[in-house]
């Protein structure tokens, strides 16, 4: 039988009447059982069900659609052969074993690090009773520390005032020369003393040279 001619004839029939459920059904059967074209068979089966959803053989057609889909999937994605699948499984098992070994090694390393950390003594800082000072002792230490930072400086000692007791025949100029100071400085240190009125025994202030 010329199945190609039949497919062509039913195709022309659909061009004339696209809503012909019978033509879709015949084409679906031809593509499914004769032409080995599951994709075309699925299309025409579904069009038949769309145009005639209450058909008596609707369940049978749905099963055929499912079978065609399985066949189409097998053609597009062929399943690996048994030896190839076994090889892939063995590779996965070996890879899983290697990963498990790595995990075990990491866990052992973590245990060793944890044991090493726990074995190290913690230096405890203890404070003897002598280190606990009373408030007065703390104040004394604070004062001593402050003194070390800022040592007390005694005020400069004032030079002792020098004096001179006038003897007979002395003049202001002679006293200034003898004391190593200028006459002006001697007069400034003794503003109330008149050279003409000096007396023997009178005490004069001598400025620093």
Please check whether the domain covering 3-76 is classified as CATH 3.10.110.10.
no
CB 206 within 8 A of CB 162: yes
Residue 51: per-residue pLDDT: 94
Provide Rg for the chain, Cα atoms.
64
Domain 162-206: give its CATH code.
3.10.350.10
Residue 49: per-residue pLDDT: 95
Residue 28: per-residue pLDDT: 92
Evaluate whether 3-76 and 162-206 have a shared fold.
no
Every domain of the chain and the residues it spans: 3-76, 162-206
Residue 157: per-residue pLDDT: 65
| Tens-level pLDDT at each residue, the chain (209 residues) | 678 888 988 999 999 999 999 999 999 999 999 888 999 999 999 999 999 999 999 999 999 999 999 988 887 765 556 677 778 888 888 888 888 888 888 888 888 888 888 876 655 555 555 544 556 666 667 666 666 655 556 666 666 778 989 898 888 888 989 888 998 888 898 988 888 878 888 998 888 87
Q: What is the Cα–Cα distance from 37 to 7, expressed in whole angstroms?
A: 12
Q: How many CB atoms lie within 10 A of CB 20?
A: 17
Q: Kindly report the pTM of this predicted structure.
A: 0.39
CB 165 within 8 A of CB 206: no
């Amino acid at each position: 039988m010329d199945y190609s001619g039949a497919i062509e004839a039913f195709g022309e029939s659909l061009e004339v009447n696209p809503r012909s459920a019978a033509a879709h059904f015949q084409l679906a059967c031809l593509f499914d059982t004769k032409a080995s074209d599951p994709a075309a068979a699925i299309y025409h089966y579904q069009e038949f069900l769309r145009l005639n959803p209450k058909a008596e053989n609707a369940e049978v057609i749905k099963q055929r659609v499912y079978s065609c889909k399985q066949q189409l999937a097998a053609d597009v994605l062929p399943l690996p052969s048994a030896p190839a699948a076994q090889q892939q499984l063995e590779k996965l098992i070996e890879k899983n074993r290697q990963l498990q070994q790595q995990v075990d090694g990491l866990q052992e390393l973590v245990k060793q690090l944890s044991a090493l950390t726990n074995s190290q003594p913690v230096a405890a800082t203890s404070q003897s009773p002598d280190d606990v000072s009373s408030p007065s002792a703390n104040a004394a230490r604070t004062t001593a520390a402050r003194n070390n930072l800022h040592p007390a400086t005694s005020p400069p000692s004032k030079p002792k005032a020098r004096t001179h007791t006038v003897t007979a025949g002395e003049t202001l100029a002679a006293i200034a020369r003898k004391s190593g100071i200028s006459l002006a400085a001697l007069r400034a240190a003794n503003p109330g003393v008149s050279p003409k009125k000096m007396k023997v025994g009178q005490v004069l202030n001598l400025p620093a040279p």
